[in-house]
Amino acid sequence: MIRLYNTATRKIEEFKPIKPGFVGLYSCGPTVYWNQHLGHMYAYLQWDTLIRFLRYSGFEVKWVMNITDVGHMTSDEDTGEDKMEKGAKREGLSVWQIAEKYIKQFTESLDLLNIQKPDVLTRATEHIPEQIDLIKKIEKNGFTYQTKTGLVFDTSKFPDYAKFAKLDLEKQKPGARVEVDPEKKNPWDFLLWVTNQPKHLMQWESPWGKGFPGWHIECTAMSIKYLGERFDIHTGGIEHIPVHHSNEIAQAYGAFGHQAVNYWLHNGWLVFKGEKMSKSSGGNNLLATDLIKKGFEPLSFRYLVLTSHYRQGMNFTWESLKGAQAAYQKLISLTQLWQTKKPREKVSDYDLEKINSFKKEFQKKVATDLNWPEALAVVWQMAKSNLPPNDKLELIRDFDEVLGLDLIKKAQVKFEIPEEIEEMKEERESLRKTNQWQKADELRKKIETKGFILEDTPQGAILKKKK
List the CATH number of the domain containing 129: 3.40.50.620
Same domain, residue pair 130 and 168? yes
- Can you give the pLDDT at residue 59? 98
Residue 286 located in a structural domain: no
| Comparison of pLDDT for 356 and 83, the residue scoring more | 356
Q: Does 299 or 428 have the greater pLDDT score?
A: 299
Asked if the structure places residue 283 within a domain, the reply is: no
CATH (domain of 391): 1.20.120.1910
Handedness of CA 137, 138, 139, 140 (dihedral sign): positive
- What are the residues whose beta carbons fall under 8 Å from the beta carbon of 305, sequence distance 6 or more? 42, 45, 46, 314, 372
136 in the same domain as 69 = yes
Q: Are residues 389 and 458 in the same domain?
A: no
177 band by pLDDT with thresholds 50, 70 and 90: very low
Domain boundary among 372, 392, 410: 410
Tell me: do 45 and 105 sit in the same domain: yes
Q: Does residue 277 fall inside a structural domain?
A: no
DSSP string, 125-174: GGGHHHHHHHHHHHHHTT-EEEETTEEEE-GGG-TTTTTTTT--GGGPPT
Q: Which amino acid is at 178?
A: V
DSSP β-bridge partners for residue 368: 3
Q: What is the pTM of this model?
A: 0.85
Domain presence at residue 301? no
Of the listed ranges 318-327, 407-416, 434-443, the least confidently predicted one is 407-416
Domain assignment present for 295: no
| Domain identity same for 153 and 252 | yes
Q: Residue 128: its pLDDT value, please?
A: 97
Torsion sign (Cα): 287, 202, 177, 10: negative
Handedness of CA 399, 402, 405, 407 (dihedral sign): positive
Distances (CA, A) of 145 to 69, 210, 219, 281: 26, 17, 21, 37
Q: Where are the alpha helices (DSSP H) in 170-297?
A: 215-227, 246-256, 288-293
Assess if residue 289 is contained within a domain. no
Note whether 444 and 376 are same-domain residues: no
Domain hosting 132: range is 3-267
148 and 78, same domain (yes or no): yes
Nearest by Cα to 107 from 41, 42, 46: 41
Rounded alpha-carbon distances, angstroms, from residue 220 to 70, 205, 230, 251, 384: 15, 20, 11, 7, 48
Residue percentage of the chain with pLDDT more than 90: 68
pLDDT in tens, 79-134: 556 777 778 888 888 888 888 999 999 999 999 999 999 999 999 999 999 999 99
CB 373 within 8 A of CB 299: no
pLDDT at residue 44 is higher than 50: yes
Please state at what angle helix 38-56 crosses helix 298-306, rounded to 10 degrees: 70
> How many CB atoms lie under 10 A from the CB of residue 438?
9
Largest CA distance in the chain: 89
Last residue of a domain, one of 393, 410, 427: 410
Kindly state the average pLDDT of the residues 22-39: 95
Shared domain check, 156 and 127: yes
- Cβ within 8 Å of residue 327, ≥6 positions away: 303
Asked whether residue 331 falls in the same domain as residue 448, the answer is no
Spatial separation of the C-alpha atoms in residues 281 and 14, rounded to whole Å = 39
Instruction: Look at residue 465 and give its three-state secondary structure.
Output: strand
74 confidence band (pLDDT: 50, 70, 90): very low
Q: CA-to-CA distance for 227 and 217, rounded, in angstroms?
A: 15
Q: Verify that 406 and 432 share a domain, yes or no.
A: no
Domain membership of residue 322 (yes or no) is yes
Q: Classify residue 184: in a domain, yes or no.
A: yes
**How many residues does this entry show for the chain?**
467
Our count of domains for the chain comes to 3
461 and 384 within one domain = no
Beta strands in 311-376 (DSSP E): 314-316
Q: Does 33 lie in the same domain as 126?
A: yes
Beta bridge partners, 153, equal: 144, 190
Percentage of the chain exceeding pLDDT 70 = 91
Q: Please name the residues in contact with 135: beta carbons below 8 A apart, sequence gap of 6 or more.
A: 144, 151, 192, 193, 206, 208, 213, 217
